[in-house]
Amino acid sequence: MQAEKYKVDGYLDYREVITLGPLVVLTILFGIYPKLVLDLSAVSVAQLLDNYNHALGAAKAAALLAH
């Protein structure tokens, strides 16, 4: 059969290797050097914390006025 010659160690088909290869490489890269991913999310996390702290301050002010 033609597909048999593209088997890697008789376990993965060549399409599976093409699909999983980049995922394995990126997983190892981000495991060793996570700064690449963390830098991308830093602005969003900072904005989320700012919104949270603003909402928390408003809730504390409302609680003080209620008592």
pLDDT in tens, 38-51: 999 999 999 999 99
pLDDT at residue 8 above 70? no
What is the predicted pLDDT for the residue at 9?
62
Residue 12 contacts by C-beta under 8 Å, 6 or more apart in sequence? 20
Q: Does residue 1 surpass a pLDDT of 60? A: no
List C-alpha distances in Å: 29 to 13, 18, 49: 24, 17, 28
Name the pTM for this structure.
0.53
pLDDT digits over 14-44, tens only? 888 899 999 999 999 999 999 999 999 999 9
